[in-house]
Amino acid sequence: MEHFMPEINWHDREGLLSIDIDENGKEDSYRIVTCSMLKEIRIWELVFEPCYDLRTAQVISTQLAVNFIANIAGDHNHSINCVRFHTFNGERYLASGDSGGRLFVWKLSDQPPGPPQDSDLPPNKEKWVKHKSFSHGKDVTFMAWQPNGPKLASIGRDNRLLIHDVTTGRCLIETDALREFPNGLCWDPLGRCVIVQSTDRKIEIFEATTKSKANGRAKKLGSIYSFDFPALQFSSHCTDAKPTKLFHDDQMMSFKRLPAFSPCGQLVVAPCVHIESRDKNFYGNYVFTRRQFISTGKPSWILPAPKVTFLVKMCPILMELDKNTKENYSGLPHRVIWLTLTDQAVIFYDSQHSGPIAYVDNIHYLKLTDASWSSDGRLVAVSSLEGYCSFLRLSFENWGVKLTTIPAYQATPEKVKKAVKRKRSIKPVEAVPAPPTPKVPKTPKAAKTPSTPSVRQFFVTTPQQQKQPEGGELSSSERPKKRIKPITLD
């Protein structure tokens, strides 16, 4: 891994609020977009150039050259909070949202750029024209593009989630059911749902394809807020078995609370973990399986971190399993790699090892604000409030082997729900006349999914926990009796 930090005033020494890498990058050449409080959007080109030894003609190092591409100004009247590239049907788009509630979608034009608007900047090399404009009542806090689609989802301080079709400009789905400053949004790579994380310590799941028949708003699939944790042990510190709120409260100051789906769609990683013990607080990331995330909201694993985390970014490249270790806590047939940000560090994890696989710290003086991963997985860009960017160039030869065949998954919330309804509707058809007092068999207990281990996997159980039966179940004498109501069939 190589670290580069060009000494460039990206936005005239103003703090950077967002950064994104274009998915159309070439080998050793990438395009990025940045924004700040300057009300301007700037596009740059990054080129990694080899440095040769004059005597041996061998490459001894690599240097990073930064080229100015374009400056987009004049339409935003407030600081710009988020920018994101997207490509669909051969057209290249750029979305930007500001603190005034305005959301613009820009499109790359074939026309030559006009004269420079600022004499202090080089002339533009590209022309970006305003394609569509949308609005929230208050600040646009975050936005996310539909994977391989024309939809753009956005959230704002007006507590609304909007999903627009940028080709037509029509609002497809809307809801105002959010609360308390939503500032994190992620699309399901299978295209079925979007998840929103807010400062009210919740993650909410919404259907992304259909509206609710009752009120025409976004259909809510679930909400993740708290969980009955067993007694856990972190090193020498213990937590009590009690209902626990999963995420940090609004005292955590950050621009984003951004969860992420894995590229295969089978894992969800959420930041802002905050677990209070008797004498210490613990932080990290929750890892959910897709099934548990949508059905029960139960985290399957916890990956600890030294400080509170606020953002998760997935590597778009899947890797083969590491054959040098037998550990594979997720049970997936491949490795998923992601990074998470604290206010000062970049921490890398994967779905096979229970601890961090890389750690980068003390690269900026002020807080980190955003991160982006290139489509080839070789470059990570990080922005900060001090006005500088860091670039981490990765070498996959040291991290493993790329997966050549990407697995296909079809599990969706809608299909799971329909299957349950179909099963229930068959029961009355198969019923036969019964005696006046039929015996109703007890419902068998649901078997545990072998691919979803308990949340205690990474922690040592306390003596009090060891005395309890497995799974924390009560004995037959302690279990409260259930009243069974007989049902007569006509």
Whether 427 maps to a domain, the answer reads: no
* In-domain check, residue 207: yes
State the Cα–Cα distance between residues 186 and 202, nearest whole angstrom.
Answer: 14
- Full-model pTM: 0.81
Cα 316 from Cα 355, distance rounded (Å): 20
Residue 242 lies in a domain: yes
User: What confidence tens digit (pLDDT) does each residue in 367-387 have?
Assistant: 999 999 999 999 999 999 999
CA–CA distance, 283 with 178 (Å, rounded to integer): 25
Distance in angstroms (rounded) separating the CA atoms of residues 319 and 327 = 15
DSSP 202-235: -EEEEEEEEE-TTTSSEEEEEEE-EEEE---EET
Q: CA 317, CA 122: separation in Å to the nearest integer?
A: 35
Of 342, 359, 393, the C-alpha closest to 47 is: 393
**Is residue 425 in some structural domain?**
no
Exposed / middle / buried, residue 351 (Cβ in 10 Å: 0-12, 13-18, 19+)? buried
Query: How many structural domains comprise the chain?
Result: 1
465 occurs within a structural domain: no
Residue 289 lies in a domain: yes
Whether 277 contacts 237, CB under 8 Å? yes
**What is the token pair recorded at 433?**
């006349």
- Do the domain assignments include residue 443? no
Q: Which CATH number goes with the domain that contains 167?
A: 2.130.10.10
Check: CB of residue 5 under 8 Å from CB of residue 47: no
Tokens of 355: 């601890």
What residue numbers bound the domain in which 33 lies?
2-413
Q: What pLDDT shows up at residue 438?
A: 47
Within a domain: residue 42? yes
The SS3 assignment for 155 reads strand
Residue 41 in tokens = 């959007």
Reading the chain (490 residues) residue by residue, the pLDDT tens digits are: 899 999 988 998 899 999 999 988 777 899 999 999 888 999 999 999 888 877 887 877 889 999 999 999 888 989 999 999 999 998 999 999 999 999 999 999 999 888 777 777 889 999 999 999 998 988 899 999 999 889 999 999 888 999 999 999 999 888 887 878 888 999 999 888 999 999 888 899 998 887 765 556 778 888 888 888 787 776 666 777 888 888 988 888 888 999 999 999 999 999 999 888 777 788 999 999 998 888 888 898 989 899 999 999 999 999 999 888 888 888 899 999 999 999 999 999 999 998 899 999 999 999 999 999 999 999 999 999 999 999 999 987 788 888 877 666 654 444 334 434 444 433 433 433 444 544 445 544 444 444 433 344 444 444 444 444 444 444 444 445 444 444 444 4
8 A C-beta contact, residue 338 and residue 348: yes
Pair of tokens at residue 75: 């339409």
